[in-house]
Each structure stands twice: as structure tokens, then as C-alpha cells.
Structure 1
Amino acid sequence: MLDSIPRTLVSAIVKIVIWIVPVIYLIRLIEQRNAFSYLRLRQNDRKGLKWAGWGSVVFIFYFVVVNFSVLEQVDFQLGFNQWLNTILLVGITEEIVFRGFILRKLMDSFRFWVANAITALLFVSIHFPIWFYKDMFGFPYVLGSILNVFVMGIIFGFVYKKSNSLWSVIILHSLYNLLVTVFY
């Protein structure tokens, strides 16, 4: 366990350096604005938390009903790496990049639903290496995974637009990853 802590922390630092630092740099370079304001991390906190709360209720209900009635498997044994890198940081890093930056930039040129669909497709594309690495790219499993991630990308984009806060989708994404980790 103690051996894996340095690797876990290095992985966390790499995620931040590869995902968040370039976005902050691009926002300052292209938009010439404060990154936290541009990403909507400083506004609509209450509205964002309200959307996150209702979305959380829906996600939890869905996972409990589906998993206890169909799959009946739950694993509450989560390690430090899963908590930090799979649950907490993935929600933050991916949402900053995809909803906070890419979706926001695409909405400058396209209607929301077109921009949201493009962002969701890009969101799917970043999951391919994970599926390859974990040997989960077999047919027909991969089709279900693609559809699931695409739909989640659409939902996250919709919640981001409605709440006007990145916190709502960061919380929902992290909760979704927690539920997937525990129930699958």
C-alpha cells in the first residue's frame, strides 16, 4: 500500500499537468481572462449545487435499482488511487477540459446541441486508451461503453448549460465514477 502512494501522487500530478495546466494557459492566452471565471468555477454555486444534488439523487437511484435488482455486486473496497485518481481528479480534470473549455469554445461557433454532441464524441474518444489498456475493447462490450460515455457526455453538457456552473458537472462526474467503481 505504501509503495503505491508515491505512484498514485505522481499520477495525480501528471493528470493536473497534462489536463489542467494547458487549459489554464490557453484561456489566458486566447481569452485573456481569469481561468476560474471563464470555466465558471466562481459563479452560480448554489444553482450548480442544486443541479448536482438532483442529478446525484437520479444517479444513486439508478445504480441502486439496476445493480441490486440485476447485477447484485457491490465492492466498497476502494484504495487511495481509486479515490484520488479515478473519482476525484477525473471529475475535475475531464470537466475542466471538456465542458469548461471545449464545450464553451464550441458554443462560440455552433448551437448548443451541436457543440454538445461534438464535445461528447471527443469525450468518448479519450476513453479508447483506457478500454484498450484494460482489455475492454471487445465486441459488443465496447459498443455499450461508447453509447454510455456519449450519453453521459451529453448529460454533463446539458447540466453545465442549465446550471451555468462547472461545479455541478464536476460533482456529478465524480459521483458517477464512484458509483461505477463501487457497483461494477
Structure 2
Amino acid sequence: MEPVPEAMTSAIIKIVIWVIPVIILVKITEKTELFSYLGLRHSIRKGLKWAGGVSILFILYFLVLNIAFLEGAELQIGFNEWLNTIILVGITEEIVFRGFLLRKLLNSYRFWIANIITSILFVSIHFPIWFHKGLFEFPYILSATITAFILSMIFGFVYRKSNSLWSVIILHSFYNLLVSLFY
């Protein structure tokens, strides 16, 4: 298990690298209230309904996958994984990719084009992580790339339908929790 100070350092780095630049960019370029711009102030109830519905689909997917191919669930998750993989990744990545980038791209492109561009960028930020963990090899990299792209497309679609960043923050965090439990 990773020591608490290292987990906290990693959490602080994520916030400094991901969230603070977005806050600055929104303040400078949009001159609007940050939480409203990102979709954190409105459609909360609608966002929770979308998050709940898609979460049920994720659970079914993982249960079917687990029954068919995997051996069981890992019920012990360490502090670092809870903080950085499950809680903060959902918040930080969704603020950047759906709350800011997708929203910004929608000013210039139709939704599906903006969502594809955002999804390609979303996949690309995972490459260094996969490389660092020794996972940047075939066939893992192909399946991980496809999975991350499809998830990003789903997150973008849910964000558009719910008009709430909370929906995709919850979905992203919940998906990461399921991955932590089943892989």
C-alpha cells in the first residue's frame, strides 16, 4: 500500500496540473462564473438520473464480464487508489475534458466532431500512464485505447444530454471503482 503522504502529493499534483489551469482559462477567456460554465451549478437532478442509469449499465457490463472471463472482485482498495484513481481522476479529468475542452470545442464544431476530438485527446493523456505502468504493448494498448475512447464518447454524450458535469464526474469515478474492484 502506498504511504499517505505520497498519495496526497499525487493528489495535489493532479489538481495543480489539471484543475488550476482550467480555472485560469475560464476566468480569462469566458469571463463568467466558473461553476456555471463547467456545468456544476445546474441540472444536478437530471445529471444524477443520467449517472444512475448509465452506472447500472456499467454494473451489468462488469458483472457479465466477471462471470464470463474473470475470477472475482478485489475488495481491498488502498488509500491512494481511493483518492487518486477513484475520486480525483473523475473530478480532474472531467473538469478538463467535458467541462472545458468539449464545451469550448462546441463553439466551433458540431457535437459529434467535438466529442470525437475530445475523446482522442482523452485517450492520448492515458498513454504516459500506460507506458509508465509497462502496459504500452500489444494487445493491451489496443483494447485500452478503444475502451478509453468509447468511455469518453459515452461521457461526452451523457454530459450533453444531462447538461451537468456532475453526471460524468460520478460516472467516471464509478467506472474507475468498478475497474479497481474487478481487475
**Shorter-chain TM band:** over 0.9
Question: Aligned partners of 2:46, 2:6: CA distance in 1, in Å?
Answer: 37
Equivalent in the alignment of 2:159: 160
Alpha-carbon deviation of 1:11? 0.9
Equivalent in the alignment of 1:40: 39
Letter in 2 for 1:176: Y
Aligned pairs for 1:125-144 (under 5 A) are 125-144=124-143
Identity over the aligned pairs, expressed in percent? 63
Question: Aligned partners of 2:56, 2:138: CA distance in 1, in Å?
Answer: 32
Equivalent in the alignment of 2:82: 83
TM-score calculated relative to the size of structure 2: 0.98
Q: Indicate yes or no: 2:52 matched with 1:62.
A: no
SS of the counterpart of 1:104? helix
Q: Indicate yes or no: 2:150 matched with 1:151.
A: yes
Equivalent in the alignment of 1:170: 169
Alpha-carbon deviation of 1:73? 2.8
Question: Aligned partners of 1:20, 1:34: CA distance in 2, in Å?
Answer: 15
Letter in 2 for 1:163: S
The Cα offsets for residues 14-69 of structure 1, whole Å up to 9 and x where unpaired, read as 11111101101100000001111100100000000000000111101110111122
TM-score calculated relative to the size of structure 1: 0.97
SS of the counterpart of 2:32? coil
Equivalent in the alignment of 2:6: 7
Letter in 2 for 1:33: T
Runs in 1 of length 4+ with deviation above 2 angstroms?
A: none
Question: Aligned partners of 2:89, 2:143: CA distance in 1, in Å?
Answer: 21
The Cα offsets for residues 65-117 of structure 1, whole Å up to 9 and x where unpaired, read as 11122212311110000000000000000000000000000000000000000
Aligned pairs for 1:101-120 (under 5 A) are 101-120=100-119
Equivalent in the alignment of 1:30: 29
Structure 2: gaps spanning 5 or more residues = none
The Cα offsets for residues 137-184 of structure 1, whole Å up to 9 and x where unpaired, read as 111211111100000000000000000000000000000000011101
RMSD over aligned Cα atoms: 0.9
Equivalent in the alignment of 2:16: 17
Question: Aligned partners of 2:14, 2:130: CA distance in 1, in Å?
Answer: 18
SS of the counterpart of 1:126? helix
Alpha-carbon deviation of 1:128? 0.1
